[in-house]
Structure 1
């Protein structure tokens, strides 16, 4: 009887509004709570960075636009079958903690101090990993780089000499719709000129970017970070050269709208140098008949025999190493950039002086005994120059194609922003 009364009480109690749909995005929705959470995150970051912000309405507009794109990316991820498992997520969090020289528990405590729950952090990170993979999968197929482009950029880099400028850019985009009319273009140009006037009169760039920009980094105050002159969009590269720190540039017209840039800072890049190591190793792979401990002990015994002068490393490598690429050469790997090796191998080499041996260690390939033979710092080789030119071209095209892909995805989607309702309605 008591249970019936309780159910009756709940059934006839005043309804409590828990959440509501704010935006319909194709097959998905964005809730008011999601918008509020993102706005609150931006506000919290602004307080920590002593940054002023535009009105709540402007923040809400930018938050909605960011969430629309994220929602579309997550829907696409579901169709493509892209997921991030819990073990993958935990490994990523562990790597983040290590990069910051803290434990996962310390990371959890620091998040709680800023008002972010660890569960919220995990799911936001999972979403970030998924959307990143969706973007890479869709954008990289749009990029083609010819050998002529690479060769031309190598020549340009050589002409520029050792000091190649990098720019820390601020960016505001006053966008116009797809297939804009003359009136749309004129209206956007007028708004861009007004924004530039405000900036020239001392208005805060970040605040205006958050309030007005249609760019991908609007919620970050338009901060594009540090960009090499050859990695930034071509439109920007053509106008920033020779400009000084603090200068404003624009409006610049593109297919997306009118751009305004600010040179937040600039710096020169040193001559490309590469550290190379020459090492040799013996690889033993554990198996059904060879345990992990036995493999480790076998390499420890080999190390001691070599140190005691009782055996020759090269001869033992030819006899025992299960790395076919180096065993025939006495375990020698040749001169290489240490970054090509798996992390544990790279870290072992970094801890050694020429001639020293590391204690046996495990990688995904098996157990290793490694000796560092020599270390050198050399000028970039032709191959390194080619790799650098290719990467700069890739970075530029990836940024341009990402923006274009997001615009196309956004324009093709069904989006309905619902009018806010009064809670009492």
Structure 2
């Protein structure tokens, strides 16, 4: 088995092993530390367990299990990387919310045929006491490592406005946003290569002034050369073969491609017209202003609530919203503009704020409500439908470009993490462990 394939296998979460089989948990009677990673220890039983799980999964996939010495070094390296990441989790104080963890465990439970966490716990602990707790801890570690990677790796990814623009102009970008092209396609086929190319050059010249493919077929087809033309109409670039769509995406209306030589002849494409996806992203936006009272070291949550209620009563008595926002709001950015947040799209604010913003009638002042930032009063001054197609396309481009860079940045980050983490391998037979990060 190739090393890279084995690495890809080890990337998979160990959770699958619990739902695909009843793998035993190995615990050596006389366990020993085989490696130290920062303040964490890797036990011999950890290595044995990891090797058993990897071998089991390879066998289930009908793949060859590599030699034991090679496998143990790969597994040890994965355990070192995992523990190095968990050291970082501890350093940054990352936590997983109980609900998030329960949802993740329940998803595994459902996949294994259990409808509840209680039933799943009974099922696993019947195999061996403590199995459920062990699985839950492993899921928690998985989620924490995922969160760590998102924070650390995403901060390394840099995508400029020019990168986004270039991507949206590329064939891949055009296909991704649903751009459509009205194209004429001509194929010239025959046995004589020289005659074929000469005819193709003539047809390309004719296409500069004509879109009549039937006339071109009649004019240039003969015993040695067959000309077939078709008006393909408007179709998404994603529906055109990648090699051809790449040629079309660089054309301006009225231009033809160079001769495209293929096994079935020579192809020529002419772009008649281009248009974007007709489906617009129309979003309801709210012109919103708010007043925020935020608890601080000197303002208790109770005092913050009392303050916002006092301001609300003054507003109901005819107080000026902009003046009160400028005077009392804890949001300095909007306070300078009388509390104005400008035009706000759903999803831009925290859920509690979104819910009030989308439910309150235009012009009315909301009751005080609480979010993670403090106590708010808001007012929606106007509502509009806004075409956000361009913004959504740019956001999608950034997401695609970010995903494209993620793996390479993750690889670099893991290598740096491995190099900068204190690692001591106690078992001298494993001293030549492959130190590659992934």
TM score, norm. by length of structure 2 = 0.48
TM score, norm. by length of structure 1 = 0.49
